[in-house]
Amino acid sequence: KLVAYQREFHALKERLRVAEHRTLQRSSELNNILEQFRRAIAETNGSKDALTNFSDETQKLLKELASRKPL
């Protein structure tokens, strides 16, 4: 019985490790996205046409975000 509990514990520990790794990856991705938005806003510097003045890279990012599955 103890061996079964140990196996289950180790399996759960591994699942937690994987989930933490994925969370860190996702957090990094989201921080990069946030930084890109900050740069885009700084580039437009309050322009009335701010939404149309995004760089091609930012527009591509927005399209990718729109097609991603929610968290």
pLDDT digits (tens, 9 = 90+) for 33-68: 888 887 877 777 666 555 566 677 777 777 777 676
User: Greater confidence, 65 or 27?
Assistant: 27
For residue 71, pLDDT over 60 is answered with no
Print the domain residue range for 8. 2-67
Evaluate whether 36 touches 58 at the Cβ level (below 8 Å): yes
Residue 47 has what pLDDT?
Answer: 62
Evaluate whether 44 touches 50 at the Cβ level (below 8 Å): yes
Total domains in the fold of the chain: 1
Quote the pTM value.
0.53
Residue 48 has what pLDDT?
Answer: 55
How many Å apart are CA 38 and CA 41, to the nearest integer?
A: 5
Residues contacting 4, CB < 8 A, separation 6+: none
* DSSP letter assigned to residue 68: S
Evaluate whether 53 touches 28 at the Cβ level (below 8 Å): no
